[in-house]
Amino acid sequence: MTKEQEIMSFLSQRVFEPVLNSSTAPKELKNGVNLTIARMNQKNAEGMINYYWSAIVGTERSTKFAKMMKDEGFTRFEDIIDEFRDRFTI
């Protein structure tokens, strides 16, 4: 498994799939997750890690999205920060 596959597998299991497989997740949330997956798949491992940390730091759009994820009861990038840091470094 490549480092890129390892990162995406981790994020898929912890963050993406619970939203995408939910029958109650709002369409806007599913669309945002799909967009995040598409953007991350365009990057190498270092780019994926940088993308993750940029999302944590936050922009107006990413902080609003993270709040929506939290309000809907889903795991966010912020919720897995320690595990991500331990597993993936540049």
**Residue 57 belongs to what domain range?**
3-87
Distance CA 19, CA 72 (A): 9
The percent helix, strand, coil of the chain (3-state, each to 5) is: 75, 0, 25
At residue 61 the predicted structure's pLDDT band, cuts being 50, 70 and 90, is confident
- Mean per-residue pLDDT of the chain: 95
To the nearest whole percent, how much of the chain has pLDDT over 70? 100
Domain total in the chain:
1
The answer on pLDDT for 90 being more than 80 is no
pLDDT at residue 40, as a whole number: 97
Q: What pLDDT score was predicted for residue 42?
A: 97
The model's pLDDT over 20-39, given as tens digits with 9 standing for 90+, comes to 999 999 999 999 999 999 99
